[in-house]
Amino acid sequence: MKSIQVFQPEFLLHGADYNYEQWLGYPDILAEDFRLIREAKCNVMNAGIFSWAMLEPAEGEYHFEWLDQLMDSLAENGIRAILATPSGAKPAWMSQVYPEIRLVDEHGRREPHRLRHNHCPTSPIYRQKVKQMNTLLAERYKEHPALLLWHVSNEYGAHGCHCGLCYAAFRKWLQERYGSLDALNHAWWTTFWSHRYTDWSQIEPVDRSVHGLMLDWMRFISDQVIDFYLAEIEPLQEIAPDVPITTNFMQPNVGLDYWKFAQYVDVVSWDSYPRWHSQQEEWPIGLKTAFFHDLHRSYKRQPFLLLESTPSVTNWQGISRPKKPGLHFLSSLQAVAHGSNGVQYFQWRQSRGGQEKFHGAVVGHVSHGHTRIFQEVTAVGRYLAQLGDLVNTCNRAEVAILYDLQNEWALNLAQLPRSEEKHYQERCVAHYQPFWEKGITVDLIDSSTADLSPYKLIVAPMLYMLRDGIEERLGRFVHQGGTLVITYLSGLVDQSDLCFIGDFPLRSLLGLWVEETDVLFTHDVQSLEAVPNNDLGLKGSYPITHFADIIHLDRAQAMAHYGHDYYAGYPAITVNHYGNGRSFYIAARSDRRFLHDFYSSLSHQLRLPQAIQTQLPTGVTAQLRHNDSKQYLFLMNFQPTSQEISLGESDYRDALSAERLRGVLELEGYGLRVLRLDD
Smaller CB separation from ligand GAL, 314 or 331 = 314
Q: How far apart are CA 261 and CA 246, in angstroms?
A: 11
Give the H/E segment covering residue 171.
Answer: helix 164-178
In the complex, minimum distance from the CB of residue 359 to ligand GAL, in angstroms, rounded to a whole number = 5
Burial (Cβ within 10 Å: 0-12, 13-18, ≥19) of residue 663: exposed
Minimum Å gap between C-beta 19 and ligand GAL is 9
Contact (CB, 8 A) for 585 and 512? yes
- Considering the complex, state which of residue 274 and residue 671 has its C-beta at the smaller distance from ligand GAL: 274
Q: Is 143 a catalytic residue?
A: no
The residues, ordered by sequence, that sit 6+ positions from 378 with a Cβ below 8 Å of its Cβ are 39, 40, 41, 369
Q: Which lies closer to ligand GAL via its Cβ, residue 359 or residue 438?
A: 359
Task: Report helix, strand and coil shares of the chain as percent, to nearest 5.
Answer: 35, 20, 45
CB of 444 to ligand GAL, least distance (A): 21
- Which of 403, 439, 434 minimizes the C-alpha distance to 598? 434
Of the candidates 239, 23, 13, 19, the residue with the CA atom closest to the CA atom of residue 116: 19
Q: What is the 3-state secondary structure (H, E, C) of 220-255?
A: HHHHHHHHHHHHHHHHHHHHCCCCCEECEECCCCCC
DSSP 112-151: PS-SSS-B-SS-HHHHHHHHHHHHHHHHHHTT-TTEEEEE
Min dist CB 149 to ligand GAL, Å, is 16
325: which residues sit within 8 A by CB, 6+ positions away?
Answer: 372, 376, 670
Given 21, 111, 155, 232, the catalytic residue: 155
3-state class (DSSP) for residue 488: coil
Nearer to ligand GAL, 114 or 370 (CB): 114
Which is nearer to ligand GAL, 90 or 625 (by Cβ)? 90
**Catalytic (active site) residue 308:** yes
Angle, nearest 10°, between helix axes 327-337 and 283-298? 30
Instruction: Give whichever of 19 and 527 is closer to ligand GAL, judged by the CB atom.
Output: 19
**Amino acid at position 678, single letter:** D
Nearer to ligand GAL, 222 or 272 (CB): 272
CA distance 611 to 634: 8
For 115, other C-beta atoms within 10 Å of its C-beta total 10
- Ranges of H-type helices in 40-110: 52-55, 65-76, 92-97
What's CA 318's distance to the chain center, in Å? 22
Nearer to ligand GAL, 32 or 356 (CB): 356
**302/350 with CB nearer ligand GAL:** 350
Is-contact 185 301, C-beta < 8 A? no
CB of 376 to ligand GAL, least distance (A): 18
Binding site for ligand GAL (CB under 6 A): 154-155, 271, 273, 308, 314, 346, 356, 359
SS (H, E, C) 25-56: CCHHHHHHHHHHHHHCCCCEEEECCCCHHHHC
In the bound complex, what is the minimum distance in angstroms from residue 305's beta carbon to ligand GAL?
A: 14
CB 48 within 8 A of CB 83: yes
The three-class DSSP label of residue 291 is helix
CB of 651 vs ligand GAL, minimal distance in Å: 42
Q: Output the smallest distance, CB 619 to ligand GAL, in A.
A: 26
CA atoms within 13 A on the CB side of 507: 11
Beta bridge partners of 526: 544
Give the active site residue among 308, 376, 408, 437: 308
Output the smallest distance, CB 229 to ligand GAL, in A: 15
Point out the residues that are catalytic: 155, 308
